[in-house]
Chain A
Amino acid sequence: MGETSRRRIARFRLFERLALLLAWALVIAGFGIAIPGTYLTWQNFSTLFTSQAPAALLALALIVPLTAGDYDLSVGANVTLSAMVIGVLNAQMGWSLAVVLPLSLSTGLVVGAVNTFFIVFVRIPSLVVTLGTASLITGIVQWLSNSSTIGGISDWLPDMVGGGQIFGISYAFYYALIVAAAIWFVFEYTPIGRRLLFVGRGREVARLSGINVGLVRAGCLLVSGLVSSFAGIVYAGILGAADPFSGLTFLLPAFSAAYLGATSIVPGRFNPWGTLVAVYFLASGIVGLTMLGIPLWVTNIFNGAALILAVTASQFARGREEIDLG
C-alpha cells in the first residue's frame, strides 16, 4: 500500500467520523439562511437542548444493551413509569421528592432485573421479552394514572431540570452530557467496556475467554433500566407533570439515533457521542421544519429518511460489507 493511498484512507476515515457533525452544521446553516430571525437564536437552541435531553438520555440508555447484543424495547415505557411514580407519589399523595426520586429510579432497576431474568436465565430473545415488558409497563402506567396527565410536581424538580441554567442551557442537557461521558469512559477506558464488545459480537469467544457473559448482559440491562428511569425523571422535571403516553413515542426515534450515531465519531460501534450528535441533528432538522410551517407528517419522513440515508451512505463507504454492529 502506497503512502498516498494510506493517507487518503486516513483522511476518508476522519471524514467518516465527522460526517454527521458536518451534516448537523449544514442543517443549521440551511435553516439559518431560510429563517434567520427565528431559527438562529440562542433561545431556540436553548429550548432545543433542554427539550431533547430526555430523548438523548433514552438513546444513551439503549446503546448499552445494544453493544452487548441485546435489544431493550422497554426503555420507552420505563420513562413514563418513572415519571408516573413521581406524579402519583409526589403530586397526588404529597410524598417528599427525597423519597420519591430514589423510588422512581429503582423502578428502572426492577424492570431491568425482570428483563434479565427472562433474557439471561430463561434464555428468551431480548426482542420478545422487552416487547412484552414494554406493553406490560404501559398498561400499569395507564392504570396508575387513569390515563390522564398528572400535574403539580414539587417545584424543586422543575428547578433542578429545566429552571437552573449554565451558559443559558438548562441543567437537563448537562445531565445527558454527564451520562454520555460516563458511558464513553466505561466503553473506552475500562476492561468492562472491552469485554462488552466481545459479548456483543462474539458470545462464544467471550465465554471461552473467561468472560461471564450472563453477568455482563445483566449489567447492561440494569443500566438501560436505570438510565431510562433517569430520563423519565428529567422528562417529568421539564414538563412539571407526568404524562402517561409519550414514552412510546420516544422509543423509535431513540433507536434511530442509536443506529445513526453508530455511523459517526467511532464508526461501526454504538457510541455515546455519536448518539448525542444524532439526537440533536434530528431535532435541529425537525424544529426547523416546524418553524417553516411544514405539516407534522414531514417530521416523521425526515426522521426515517435521515436514518436510512445515513446508514446507506456509510454502508457504501465501507464497500457494503455485512453490518456487524456492537
Chain B
Amino acid sequence: MVGAVPALSVRNIGKTFGGARALKGIGFDVAPGEVHGLLGQNGSGKSTFVKILAGFHAPDPGGEISLHGRAVALPLRAGSFRKLGLAFVHQHLGLVPSLTVLENLRVSSITARRKAMIDWRAERRAGREAFDRFGIRIDVAARVAELSQVDRALVAIVRAFEELRGGEAGVGLLLLDEPTPFLPKEGVDKLFALMRQMTAHGASVLFISHDIDEILEITDRATVLRDGEVVGSLVTRDSRKEDFVERIVGRRMERFASDRRPASGKKLRARLEGVRDVRLQTTSLDLHAGEIVGLTGLIGSGYERVPYLIFGANPAQGGRLTLDGTVLDLTRITPKRAMRAGIALLPADRQRASGVGGLSVGDNLMVLALGQFVRWLHLDRGALGRRARDLCATFEVRPNNPRLPLSALSGGNAQKVLIAKWLSQKPALLMLDEPTQGVDVGTRQQLFRAIKTAAQNGAVVLCASTDFDQLADICDRVVIFARGQVVDELTGTDISKDGIAARCYASVTLASLAVGAV
C-alpha cells in the first residue's frame, strides 16, 4: 500500500465560522483499497469536514484536497462528485421510500437528461447485476418502503458504488457517514461484508462512526479529530479501544469506576418500569422530586426514545409509569392521558412537533390553557392576551408581542415560548428532548434557569440530549444508554462534559457483552 497514490489526500484544510476555527488545518490520507475510519465527538470538526467534502462549505484558502492523485478545485461542486470518483452515503440514505428499488438504484441513469426513452429491460438487467456482484438478494421491483432498514442501507451503498463504477475514475472513494446506528448487529455484519467486497473490487471507504467497536472491526486505519485538529492516526490492528477513547475524549479515562449514589434526601416521585419498543430494551428508572435526570448515549442508542414512549407520542411495546401514586400503562397511553397525569413533553423537532410557526406566539403559548379562560361560554380573549404577555415577560421572550407569528422569533425565543407553554401547566414530570438545539449562549442560560426553577418547585425533569456540556450544566444524574439499554449512570462530581463523553464511548463494549450473554 505504501507508495501507492492515495484515494483521498487532505492537506491543511481549515474552516473558520465568524472568527471561530471549527477546523484548524487538518491533513490525512486514505490509501486505495482501504477502509479508513474517521472519529470525533460532536464539535470536533468532523461534520464540518464532511460538509466541505460534500461541497456544502467552502474551506479556508490554503488547503488542498486530492482524489486519486488529482488535486480538485475548492470549493467542491456538488455536481462533480461522479467525475471525481467520490460518492456519499449519508445517514438518511437518500432513498425515496415510495419508489421501487430499481428506480432508486438507477436514478441517475433513468433521469439522465440526454435520453429520449428509458430502456427498462436494460435498467432491470443493470440493477440485478449490481446486486449479483455482491451476492445480495433484493427484489429490484419491490418498493423501498417494504425493505428492512438493513436492506435499505445496502441499496444506498450499492447505488453509491455503482455511481463510482460508471464514472471516469473507475472505482473511487466511498464516504459512509454513520450508516450503522439504527441497524441491528446482524445488519451491521452484512454491511461490513459488503464494504469488504467493495474494497476487494478496488474501492476505498471513508467510514464515519461513533462506535469504536465497529471501527476496530472494519477499518484498516483511523483518523481521530478533536477540537478541529487531527489528534490521532491509528493503525487499527495495533490499537486498543482505550487508545481510541483517550484520543476522542482527550484524557485517559479510568475504567468504569461508576459509583452510584442515591439521590440523597429527595423523595421518590416517579417510577418507570420496563418501558420498551423496537429499539429500546426493557428500561427502568427511579425518579425523584426536584431531580434533573439526563438521558444520553451515542446516536441510535435508544435514550432519545424514552420521553416519546412515556408521553404516548410513539407507541411502546411494554412498560408502566407510576407518577404520584397513579399507575399509567405505557402501551395504552396517549398524549392526552399523559397530560392529564401531569406529564409534559417538549419535542426536539421544533417546527413539526413542537410549535406552529404560522400561528401567533399567543396561540402557541396558550393552546394548553384555553379551558381556563372560558367565561360564560366564550373565551375571555382579553384575559388570555394578558396572561400570554405576562408569561412572555416571565420567560424573557423578546420581543414581547404575543400577536407576532411564532416564526418571526429567533430560535431561542421561540424555544422560550414553547417551554413556557408546558411549564405554565405546572407539570409533575417535565420531559425535554434537545431543549437548546440551535439556541444562542445567553438564551441557553435563560432556558436552564427555567428548567431548574421547575425542578426546585418539585417537578421531575428528564432531559434527553447528546449535548454533554448541557447535561453537565443542569443534571443531578446522567443515565447512559448503549444499544438500546441503560449501561451506566453518573452522579455528583462525576458529571462533567468529558466524563459523560468517556462513558458514552466506552460503554458500547459493555452493552455488546451484555447482549452476547443474553
Contacts and interface: CB of A to CB of B under 8 A. Distances in A.
A194 interface: yes
A25 B255 CA distance: 81
Nearest to A192: B370
A218 B455 CA distance: 39
Interface in A170-205: 185, 188-191, 194-195, 197-198, 201-202, 204-205
A8 interface: no
Contacts of A296: none
Interface in B346-377: 347, 352-359, 363, 366-368, 370-371, 373-374, 377
B368 A210 contact: yes
Given A190-B378, A210-B339, A204 B363 contact: no
B355 A208 contact: no
A324 B359 CA distance: 10
Contact of A326 (B311, B338, B358, B374): B358
A31 B311 CA distance: 61
Contact of A208 (B353, B374, B378): B353
Contact of A194 (B311, B313, B358, B367): B367
Interface string A202-244: 1011011111100000000000000000000000000000000
A58 B30 CA distance: 68
Nearest to B379: A189
Contacts of B355: 202, 205
Interface in B329-357: 335-336, 338-340, 345, 347, 352-357
B238 to A, nearest CB: 50
A205 B354 contact: yes
Interface string A116-155: 0000000000000000000000000000000000000000
Nearest to A191: B370
Contacts of A326: 358
A14 to B, nearest CB: 14
A324 to B, nearest CB: 4
B381 interface: yes
Contacts of A198: 356, 359, 363, 367
Given A191-B374, A197-B363, A205-B356, A212 B379 contact: no
Interface string B441-481: 00000000000000000000000000000000000000000
Given A201-B356, A205-B354, A326-B358, A210 B336 contact: yes
Contacts of B338: 210
Interface residues of A, number: 22
Nearest to B362: A194
A12 to B, nearest CB: 15
Contacts of A211: 336, 367
B16 to A, nearest CB: 32
Given A195-B370, A198-B367, A208 B356 contact: no
A116 to B, nearest CB: 19
Nearest to A197: B359
Contact of A202 (B313, B336, B356, B377): B356
Contacts of A194: 363, 366-367, 370, 379
A198 B370 CA distance: 13
Contacts of A210: 335-336, 338-340, 368
A60 B219 CA distance: 65
A190 B371 CA distance: 9
A191 B336 contact: no
Nearest to A189: B378
Interface string A290-326: 0000000000000000000000000000000000101
Nearest to A268: B358
A326 B340 CA distance: 28
Contact of B353 (A185, A201, A204): A204
B336 A212 contact: yes
B250 to A, nearest CB: 38
A324 B370 CA distance: 23
A201 B335 contact: no
Interface string A29-45: 00000000000000000
Contacts of B371: 191
Contact of A207 (B335, B363, B379): B335
A122 to B, nearest CB: 19
Contacts of A208: 311, 313, 335, 345, 347, 353-354
B369 to A, nearest CB: 9
A13 to B, nearest CB: 11
B354 to A, nearest CB: 6
B352 A191 contact: no
A51 B225 CA distance: 75
A207 B335 CA distance: 7
A208 B359 CA distance: 16
A191 B368 CA distance: 10
A214 to B, nearest CB: 11
B461 to A, nearest CB: 18
A205 B345 CA distance: 11
Contact of A324 (B340, B345, B358): B358
Contacts of A185: 378
Contacts of B357: 324
Contacts of B340: 210
B422 to A, nearest CB: 9
A-B residue pairs, 6 tightest by C-beta:
A191-B370, A202-B356, A324-B358, A189-B378, A210-B336, A210-B339
20 contacts: A189-B379, A189-B381, A190-B378, A191-B370, A191-B371, A194-B366, A194-B379, A195-B370, A197-B359, A198-B359, A202-B355, A205-B354, A205-B355, A205-B356, A207-B313, A208-B313, A208-B354, A210-B336, A211-B367, A324-B358
Interface of A: 185, 188-191, 194-195, 197-198, 201-202, 204-205, 207-212, 268, 324, 326
Given A188-B379, A209-B368, A210-B336, 9 more contacts: A194-B366, A195-B367, A197-B356, A198-B363, A204-B353, A205-B354, A205-B356, A210-B338, A324-B357
